[in-house]
Structure 1
Amino acid sequence: MDMPRVSHRYVEVDGVRVFYREAGPRDAPTLLLLHGFPTASHQFRRLIDALGTRYHLLAPDYPGFGHTEAPDGFRYDFEALADVAEGFVRAVGATRFAVYAFDFGGPVGFRLAVRHPEWITGLIVQNANAYEEGLSAMARAAIAHRTGEPGAAEAVRELFTLPVTRGQYEQGAADTTLIDPDAWTLDQHHLDRPGRIAAQTALALDYHSNVAQYPVWQRWLREHRPPTLVLWGVGDGFFPEEGARAYLRDVPDAELHVFDSGHFALAERLPEIAPLVARFLDRLAGQGRPGGQRRLRIAVLGASGHLGGAVAREAEARGHAVTPLGRGAAYAADPAAVVGVLGGHDAVVASLKGGDRLVPRAAAALLEALPKAGVERLLFVGGGGSLEYAPGRRFVDSPDFPPQYLETARDQAQALDLLRAATDTPVAWSYASPPPMHLVPGERTGNHRAEARDTPLVDDEGVSRITVGDFAAAVVDAIERGSFVRRRFTAAY
């Protein structure tokens, strides 16, 4: 029999002793399993048994749940849960993974995704809501309570009783005999441990913060368009089916499956759900290629340059077929020549410099020629000079902008203007701006952030900085994920 070896471990994260389950080969595609309320990683035990020989599975318990031990004074809110989840991911060395988000796993997982889109290869959503229409009247009543309001704590504590815990499993289920009663019994055991009711009360009174984040998460979905599998028990008393279908607005290519089941659909419908998860992970894996993407044919204009070469090397390292084209290629500004050179590719990266307005002329030529060449995707690597240091005030227009870079920066800014003005183009362009000052030598670390914006991303000290390796990784991420379409984005730490 082919059964996984499941390890049960602890790792220290900022004073929190995080318990987690791990199975599968570490060089296989990784799936981060994020549990819901009022359960813990044990909710995934049977799924781990089903998938743990083929995939690398990580299932942590949050603070206030399961076997994880948090110190006195731990702040129980959803930002803190995401902080610990982020620390857990770093501690176990996971750098690229898909997320299985159930219930509370949605707020935790989406916060991780917004902070580190470069980590996420795909998204499995199972009864994890991110839309206003996905909130039932019962859910709205439960999350209406706020910390400090008279009677609020007493009202939410009713959620932590055995009848409610059991009801979350049985309500909406088609066949309750398929649900193991040990599930709610174990959940209640952990709920009744010392300090847990106070922790869960604080989280319940903070749930409204998740609803406030819905627009942020929806924007992340639209911009990054991650491969997405939506699984939903339609009898869910908290999150009705409308919440499942709403994902298709922001990720139209998402795969959606609904089940005659309730909130804990996995507990009842594992035989149907596990194969769907396996097929989804297989598609992400690209037949075992690293990086979790299908092999793309990418032409890099300017591959002999500093940034273009870094992008070409990063794409090749991920297994893509790269056509390197010279940095000073004058044909980049000739639409007819572009058609002949770039036809047959899945994407084009343009990282160009040159006199005689080569950069904006190349932008115009690519917009004209790529549809004729049958190439939909364009990633234009521009400069940081067109970023704004104040509303409407670009670095390139400031009096102290370095004069030796002024011509190039103005050309790059004009290229961005041309792309933005092409409102009727079929080309799915993106424009990548590095930090205006601190693009520094260095390899990829995977710790960068990328966002669609016109101002620099800065760290806690107000500095916008990234290595060439990480900026190249952000460019290839955008190509693989189809993210930031018709948008300018920047990347930094």
Structure 2
Amino acid sequence: MDRFVDTFDGTYPYAPQFTEAAGFRMHYVDEGPRDGQVVLCLHGEPTWGFLFRQLIGALRGTYRVVVPDQMGFGRSDTPSSRNYWLQDHIDNLERFVLALDLRDITLVMHDFGGPVGMGLASRHPDRIRRIISVNGPTPFGQATLADRWRANAKVSPWFQWILSAEAEGRLDAVLSELGFNILSTLKLNGFEDNSLINDTWLRAYGSRFATPADCAGAIGWARGFAIDAHRFEVPDAATRRTIATKPALAIWGSADRTLHAQHLLPLFSELFPQAAIHKLAGVGHYSLEDAPEAIAARIGPFLEQT
């Protein structure tokens, strides 16, 4: 079935929307009242808006839930002429947000959606109302991340593999076949609920990567870390202070083997020292797969109370 119309047996029933504001055909979901506060959900590697399917359903009755697919992921295009470094994704998100004129935004960020979303916050703090990290790092600049990232890489099977695979020329060979090895890639990064695995779920995540050319986004994000090509946004002091005043919440699956809480969660608490942090025992890196109800049950009251 065409991935642009496939609802994955009704598990992703949301109408596809498209914009070319970022210079390529970018897919997004836009659910809920047009005048509602915006909840902008940002996915990471190698997922797409499908990751937020249950959160969309939980929030769209009250909030305007906007879920873009990053360049090279989901239903968005994978232009061969573009780079896939962090700054490119931040540029794309900025153009997307300005084109839709999204304001009063609550960021919900998973995996590399964290640095992308924080890049947007750094450039447009006036458009951000709240910040929610769900197993998504919240760094500003290389210096804030370097030591923590090295420590995390030493205990993360995913990052250990990226570094060795790139050095040995194997990275493309593996990641260009994500349509066939998506399950092993997802499991290496970490989710704990094996009952999720069925043909529909595998099709939702794997069908996007039908050919090696489709995998440029996933390869680019991984290679960018291996060769230190990603550049994290650095706000000026005034902007950083403004962002630090935003209501913030962190939800972190404690069984995350890719982004370990002890190494990367301090990035959040250093910026938002008064913010609540919820650690979910037995929940892995793809926490929105392992514990969607628990995450929605924490996000909903946070939105209401702030």
**Once the 2 structures are TM-superposed, how far is the Cα of residue 166 of structure 1 from its aligned partner?**
3.8
Query: CA separation in 1, counterparts of 2:86 and 2:302?
Result: 28
Structure 2 counterpart of 1:251: 272
Q: Superposed, which structure 2 residues align to 1:150-229 within 5 Å?
A: 151-152=168-169, 154-155=170-171, 157-159=173-175, 160=178, 161-168=181-188, 171=190, 173=192, 175-177=193-195, 182-193=200-211, 195-207=213-225, 208-210=228-230, 213=232, 216=234, 224-225=243-244, 226-229=246-249
> C-alpha distance in 2, partners of 1:44/1:253?
26
Q: Which residue of 1 aligns with 2:9?
A: none
Counterparts of 1:227 and 1:164, CA distance in 2 = 36
Q: Matched residues in 2 for 1:176 and 1:164: separation?
A: 12
Asked whether the 8 Å contact 1:166–1:184 carries over to 2, the reply is no
Matched-pair identity in %: 27
Q: 1:300-342 CA distances to partner (integer Å, 9 max, x unpaired)?
A: xxxxxxxxxxxxxxxxxxxxxxxxxxxxxxxxxxxxxxxxxxx
> 1:82 is matched by which residue type in structure 2?
I
Contact kept, 8 Å, 2:251 with 2:279, in 1: the verdict is yes
Q: Secondary structure at the match of 2:232?
A: helix
Shift of 1:156: 5.7
Give, in whole Å, the separation in 1 of the partners of 2:269 and 2:22. 37
For 1:158 and 1:273, locate their aligned partners in 2 and report how far apart those are by CA, in whole Å: 32
* Map 1:439-478 → 2, pairs under 5 A: none
Q: Matched residues in 1 for 2:136 and 2:103: separation?
A: 23
**Structure with the larger strand share:** 1
- In 2, Cα distance between the equivalents of 1:110 and 1:157? 31
Structure number, greater radius of gyration: 1
SS at match of 2:25: strand
For residues 357-399 of structure 1, give each alpha carbon's deviation from its aligned partner in whole angstroms, at most 9, with x where no partner exists: xxxxxxxxxxxxxxxxxxxxxxxxxxxxxxxxxxxxxxxxxxx
| Superposition map of 1:25-44 within 5 A | 25-44=33-52
* 1:248-305 deviation line (CA, Å, top 9, x unaligned): 2221111100112101111121111102111122233xxxxxxxxxxxxxxxxxxxxx
Please say if 1:281 is aligned against 2:298. no
| 1:312-461 equivalent positions in 2, closer than 5 A | none
Name which of 96, 103, 108 aligns with 1:100: 108
Partner AA of 2:285 in structure 1 = H
- State the shift of 1:177 in Å: 2.3
Determine the structure 2 residue equivalent to 1:295. Answer: none
Cα pair 1:165 1:187 within 8 Å, conserved: no
Distance 1:198 1:71 in 2: 8
Number of residue pairs matched by the alignment: 274
Structure 1 segments unaligned to the other structure (5+ residues): 285-493
Instruction: Look up the match of 2:21.
Output: 13
Secondary structure in 1 matching 2:221: helix
Separation in 2, partners of 1:204, 1:233: 22
> In the alignment, which of 276, 284, 288 is matched to residue 262 of structure 1?
284
Among candidates 244, 251, 255, match of residue 235 of structure 1: 255
The whole-number CA distance in structure 1 between the counterparts of 2:201 and 2:236 is 32
Q: Aligned-pair distance for 1:217?
A: 7.1
SS of equivalent to 1:15:
coil
Structure scoring higher RCO (CA < 8 A, sep ≥ 6) equals 2
Aligned-pair distance for 1:245? 4.1
Task: Provide the C-alpha distance between the structure 2 equivalents of 1:254 and 1:264, rounded to a whole number of angstroms.
Answer: 22
Shift of 1:54: 0.8
Of stretches 76-85 and 131-140 in structure 1, the one that deviates more from structure 2 is 131-140
Give the match's secondary structure for 2:46: coil
Query: Contact 1:165–1:188 (CA<8 Å) still a contact in 2?
Result: no
Cα distance in 1 between the residues matched to 2:172 and 2:80: 22
TM-score, length basis structure 1:
0.51
Q: Which amino acid letter does the alignment assign opposite residue 119 of structure 1?
A: R
**3-state SS in 2 of match to 1:257:** strand
Q: For the residues of structure 1 that align with 2:236 and 2:296, how far apart are their CA atoms?
A: 26
Amino acid at match of 1:265: S
Partners in 1 of 2:198 and 2:272 — Cα distance?
A: 34
Provide the alpha-carbon RMSD of the alignment: 2.8
Question: Given the two structures, how large is their TM-score scaled by the length of structure 2?
Answer: 0.79
Q: CA deviation at 1:92?
A: 1.4
More deviation in 267-276 or 155-164?
155-164
Runs (4+) off by over 4 Å:
178-181, 217-223
Displacement after TM superposition at 1:10 (Å): 0.6
Residue type matched to 1:133 in 2? R
Conservation of the 8 A alpha-carbon contact between 1:34 and 1:59: yes
- CA gap of 1:199–1:265, structure 2 versus 1, over 3 A, is closer
1:141 counterpart letter in structure 2: Q
Shift of 1:239: 0.6
Kindly state the Cα deviation for residue 71 of structure 1 after the two structures are TM-superposed. Answer: 3.6
Give the counterpart letter for 1:104 in structure 2: F
Q: Given that residues 31 and 58 in structure 1 are in contact (C-alpha distance below 8 angstroms), is that contact kept between their aligned partners in structure 2? A: yes
